[in-house]
Amino acid sequence: MTAASAVYYRLAMGLAERPWLAALFRNLGPFVPLIAAWQIVVLLRIWPRSFLPAPAAVPQAFAFLVTESDLPGQVLRTIYRVTAGGLAGLGLGVLLGAMVGTSRGLHEALRGLIDYLQAVGEIGWLPLFIIWSGFNDRTIILTVAYTVFFPVFFGTMAGILAVPRTLANSVLTLGGGRRHVLWEVLLPGALPAIITGFRVGMGFGWRTVILAEMLIAQLGLGVMMFEARSFFRVDWILVGMVVAGVLWLVTDRFVLLPLESKTIQRWGVQVVER
């Protein structure tokens, strides 16, 4: 009892001194009951072990895949694809979003088409992309780019439309032209919305890259997970799920979210506590 309370005390003190550690615990908190429930289900032997291995089997399988198979190489390939596709989607989304956001004519002309293309979705295009581009990285990158494009496009457009008109007017009365209005006012003004769009898009992009790899690639996290199915290695599939989820969480929490908060803060908008 005293030992337990001493541990608790030291833990609490440690957390108070290190806010990032406290944040880590807060974020990991919900995983504890989830894993516990999983362990209980396994102990109750509702399904055979081969259907649902114990939680402890996952780190074991992870160690095996890292040492005996080329898991890091597969993951790097996936990261490359999702990054390349994400950046392409970001570039295209900002470009078209800025064009549609600054021109009423283009807005009216393209809005319906873009809504339609979003509804079709990257999975609907995938067979066509394969025919056009083949079973290769380019097809996967294209599919991810398609996914990331829409949230970035809508973020850019909405962000630009939300910039107060007087800011553009102030640049005009200082002697600026349309180019200055775009670079000094509209794009910086839309930046928080663009980053939010990119965050949402990359969240979708991670799902897309795994799926596209399952259907197209010979290498990659999605491939590893899909192949494990034919060997009935549920533990390998679980490793893939954990790795994909953790990679996304790390990217989001340590890169995208701080970037978003920073722009929103600097831009003078009230930061909402998350």
Partner 1 sequence: MADSRAIHRHDHTAREAVLPEDAAKILFDGVTFEYIDAQTGERLRAIDGLTAQIRENEFFCILGPSGCGKSTLLYLVAGLLKPTQGKILVGGRVVKGPGADRGLVFQEYALLPWRTVRENVALGLKIRGVSREERDAVARRFIHLVGLDGFERKYPHELSGGMRQRVAVARTLANSPDVMLMDEPFAAVDAQTRAVLQEELTRIWAQSRLTVVFVTHNVDEAIFLGDRVLIMTPRPARVHSVIPIDIPREERSWAHLDRDPRFAALRGRIGDVMRNLGDGSASNHDRG
Q: Interface residues with partner 1 (CB under 8 A)?
A: 164, 166-167, 169-176, 180, 184-185, 188-189, 191, 263, 266-268
Q: State which residue, 133 or 263, has the beta carbon closest to partner 1.
A: 263
Q: State which residue, 218 or 265, has the beta carbon closest to partner 1.
A: 265
Q: State which residue, 133 or 170, has the beta carbon closest to partner 1.
A: 170
Number of other residues whose CB lies within 10 A of the CB of residue 178? 12
Q: State which residue, 161 or 214, has the beta carbon closest to partner 1.
A: 161
Nearest distance from residue 179's CB to partner 1, in Å? Answer: 9
Nearest distance from residue 56's CB to partner 1, in Å? Answer: 50
Give the tokens for residue 174.
Answer: 């200082």
Cα separation, 93 vs 195, in Å, equals 11
Cα separation, 231 vs 139, in Å, equals 27
Nearest distance from residue 261's CB to partner 1, in Å? Answer: 14
- Under 8 Å between Cβ of 90 and 198: yes
> What are the distances in angstroms from CA 227 to CA 144, 215, 219, 233?
21, 11, 10, 9
Amino acid at 97: G
Assign residue 270 a region (left: φ > 0; alpha: ψ between -120 and 50; beta: otherwise).
beta
Nearest distance from residue 213's CB to partner 1, in Å? Answer: 38
Quick one: DSSP state of residue 239?
H
Q: State which residue, 185 or 228, has the beta carbon closest to partner 1.
A: 185
Nearest distance from residue 95's CB to partner 1, in Å? Answer: 21
